[in-house]
Structure 1
Amino acid sequence: MYRICCLNNIAKVGTDRLGPGYEFVAEPEGADALLVRSANLHELELGGGLLAIARAGAGVNNIPVERCAESGVVVFNTPGANANAVKELVICGMLLACRDVIGGAAWVAENSDDPEIAKRAEKAKKQFGGFELAGKRVGVVGLGAIGAAVANALIDLGCEVMGYDPYLSINAAWSLDRRIEHVTDLGELLARCDFVTLHVPATDATRHMVGADQIARMPRGAVLLNFARDALVDEQALAEALDDGRVGRYVTDFANPASSNMRNAIVLPHLGASTGEAEDNCAVMAADELRDYLENGNIRNSVNYGQVDLGELAEGNERVALFHENVQGVIGLISAEIAASGLNIENMTNKSRGSNAYTLIEVSGDLTQETCARLAGMPGVRRVRLIERP
């Protein structure tokens, strides 16, 4: 019986996928796996029995990813599950930046008691005029699931689209409309675009990737959109650029003391993935990832270990999962120990990510706890897990 703790409200359509063989517990202590959305886990004590954490969403800045890796705790996320919801809000943000819809709606609300409102509106509407999105050049920074969806949608809306992503995967490239211009220099994109929208994760490398120097390259009056993470932008430099008109509008999904007081900013309360469909998609994907890992040892969409898939574990068979340092010679030692225990390796796969490596082995024969203990005692091995199917 696997014990699962939900640290946030996880959609029932997802938790229902963890049926017989799973028990939901109220506290993380003693849990085998955690399902989480926004709860901050950085101060959480990682129990010795904790096997995995699944984040129902893409960002994992609320999870101590590297500390988990060192303890053999797999951290999953759900890339692409909320992509459509975020894409739609980004397009909405662009339209709000083009047309003063918010100001116009506020004017109507303020004058709702005026019996002559219809006549007055014809005169007042001039102050809320704007421009059309079609025909504008838009730069999309980051072409993952969300960025690619945004870029393709903008092509359909009649925009010229430029994309920048130094880590563009082959699968992501195949999903992009052929009319999207791919550039390899961020400065070039900033200098040529009327709109720039950010879709990259917040890391040490991307922190303040749009600062004073980058803003200075943008055409005067350009619109910047940030539905990724607020740390991507130097907000002090941006506030100054908004004040003097260097940047025409800033549209962001991250309300904080700096952004909420910026001139010419449209600030939303983190609505990007806040749709019922997105929450359902994320919950289902997170639950499926957990189940496949707990029952079969397979890893999909982990942020701290590589992707591994040996398929479904056959009834009566056994697998051993080993978390170890990504150093030379460990695989050979593991194979030799299994052979010395009188077991035959039926299937084996190994993947590394940085300094972290994961090896999944299916064997014929009785894989005893004594063998697992010897494997766990080898140099460089962090954790050993026996997976059995009755």
Structure 2
Amino acid sequence: MSTKTLETLQTIKTLNHISEKGLNVFKENYILDDQSENPDAIVVRSFNMHSLDFNPNLKAIARAGAGVNNIPVEKCTEQGIVVFNTPGANANAVKELVLTTLMASSRNLFAGVAWAKTLENEGDQIPKLVEAGKKQFVGKEIKGKTLGVIGLGAIGALVANDALDLDMDVIGFDPFISVDTAWNLSRNVQRAASLEQLFANSDYITVHVPFTKDTGGMFNKETFSIMKPGVHIMNFSRGELVNEEDMAVALEDGIVGKYITDFPNENVLKMKNAVPIPHLGASTQESEENCAIMAARQIKEFLETGNIRNSVNFPNAALPYTGKRRVAVFHQNVPNMVGQITVAISSFDLNIADMVNRSRGEYAYTMIDIENKINGDVTPLLEEKINQIKGIVTTRII
């Protein structure tokens, strides 16, 4: 593997239109080349990368968004390519749309507007028809009602806090809530001991969890039976969280009053009282800019320092960068790996100034700062020696 230093130009390839504010992060020491066949890093939004072959020089892929279904993450891990996403960068955009649809659906705004549009040819009769017809769209106020928030990450926490400011009661469920999120969450958010408790006590439910084998189809006939009759369900996470056959029946029977989803398909469009949103959750100018900037900064930091933040396949690891030569190694998470790496370094009479080692499942990531100045001739030899250790995936000397 070739070794690049900070003074060497590094190539960034984009596979979608990426906000200029994000690309402006790459100034000195970078080349932006959409046609490059040998980039150091790729920035992507929704482009499907599963059929692509990756060159040995590729070190990182950053998704300007949260979901990484369009990226072959397992393949990247095996080849030592770190994959980043941008959690929280689009949180405000999604939060605003959740709260918008919460109020609009509760007031039957979508159906009312659609009905009003049908009166365009009625001329002077329109005001009279409006007054006569508006009673069919009488809705409910959200003030004093209970909102259940499933998943209290970046988006869920914002939704919960703002719903409190709208004088709603808020109950949340997230068994994996992080310390950082807990600090940002209002103490007035009630904690549900179980999903069943949240389902039974909520007038409105919004879900903000990823699609996994455990969350797939979590909204189904069984869980609908626990909920309050006429509950409104908002899904801005993944369509697969809902059993659509069961949802159609629940809507027809009035068990579910409204289903608001950002993931319309043929089944959803046929459902009674479904509100299909054309995947607009993160579609704001500000969100696209925030995601692009965050993705670019993560790639830049990784290429220049080896530090990893918000990776979906590598362990997050950070070591203050002081300008010393740094050895960054991605390897299998097996005993004595760090010892073998340090032995290889010491064999060149190099002293270790600082180091960090983090693991994630079957793999681990080690960064070691070298106290001595490394002669240019030694760099490829050291890299080669480390790569000869069984279990090493990639080695980079910064």
**With structure 2 as the length reference, what TM-score do the two structures score?**
0.94
SS state of the match for residue 159, structure 2?
helix
Q: What secondary structure sits across from 1:119 in the alignment?
A: helix
Please give the alpha-carbon distance, in whole angstroms, between the structure 1 residues aligned to 2:36 and 2:150: 37
Q: Which amino acid aligns with 1:163?
A: G
Say whether 1:267 aligns with 2:276.
yes
The reply on whether 1:323 has 2:334 as its aligned counterpart is no
Give the match's secondary structure for 1:75: strand
Q: Which residue of 1 aligns with 2:155?
A: 146
Q: Distance in 2 between matches of 1:69 and 1:202?
A: 20
Is 1:278 paired with 2:287?
yes
Q: Deviation at 1:255?
A: 1.5
Write out the 4+ residue segments of structure 1 that deviate beyond 3 Å after TM superposition: none
How far apart are the structure 2 equivalents of 1:385 and 1:51? 9
Counterparts of 1:211-360 in structure 2, within 5 Å, are 211-314=220-323, 317-360=324-367
Give the distance between the partners of 1:211 and 1:331, measured in 2 at CA.
48
Structure 2: runs of 5+ lacking an equivalent: 1-8
Q: Deviations over 1:139-160 (max 9, x none)?
A: 1010000000001011111111
Q: Is 2:69 aligned against 1:61?
A: yes
* More moved, 66-75 vs 106-115: 106-115
Aligned to 1:46: 54
Q: Is the 8 A contact 1:137 1:160 kept in 2?
A: yes
Which of 178, 181, 184 aligns to 1:175? It is 184
Match for 1:4: what amino acid?
I
Tell me the distance in 2 between the aligned counterparts of 1:2 and 1:263: 53
Q: Select the residue among 355, 362, 373 that pairs with 2:369.
A: 362
1:4 equivalent to 2:15? Answer: no
More displaced, 348-357 or 139-148? 348-357
> 2:383 is matched by which residue type in structure 1?
C
Check whether the contact 1:254–1:269 (CA below 8 A) recurs between aligned residues: yes
Deviation larger for 256-265 or 128-137: 256-265
| Contiguous gaps of at least 5 residues in structure 1 | none
> Match of 1:111, SS?
coil
Identity across the alignment (%): 45
Q: Which amino acid aligns with 1:142?
A: G
CA distance in structure 1 between the partners assigned to 2:384 and 2:200 by the alignment? 59
The equivalent of 1:90 in structure 2 is 98
Query: Over the residues paired in the alignment, what is the CA RMSD in angstroms?
Result: 1.3
Q: CA deviation at 1:205?
A: 2.5
Alignment of 1:371-386 (within 5 A): 371-386=382-397
Q: Which amino acid aligns with 2:179?
A: I
Whether 1:105 and 2:116 are equivalent positions in the alignment is no
Aligned residue type for 1:3: T
The question of whether the paired residues in 2 share the 8 Å contact of 1:349 and 1:360 is answered with yes
Query: Take 1:301 and 1:60, find their aligned partners in 2: how far apart are those partners?
Result: 12
The corresponding residue for 1:80 is 88
Match of 1:184, SS state, is coil
Distance 1:108 1:208 in 2: 36
SS at match of 2:56: coil
- Quick check: 364-373 or 124-133, which moved more? 364-373
Matches of 2:194 and 2:116, distance apart in 1: 44
CA distance, structure 1, for counterparts of residue 285 and residue 75 of structure 2: 32
Counterpart Cα distance in 1 of 2:149 and 2:235: 11
Superimposed CA distance per residue, residues 164-204 of structure 1 (whole angstroms, 9 cap, x where no aligned partner) = 11110111111111110112311111111111111011222
SS at match of 1:140: strand
C-alpha separation in 2, matches of 1:257 and 1:329 = 54
Which residue in 1 is equivalent to 2:137?
Answer: 128
In structure 2, distance between residues paired with 1:34 and 1:204: 29
Q: In the TM superposition, what is the alpha-carbon distance from 1:313 to its structure 2 partner?
A: 4.6
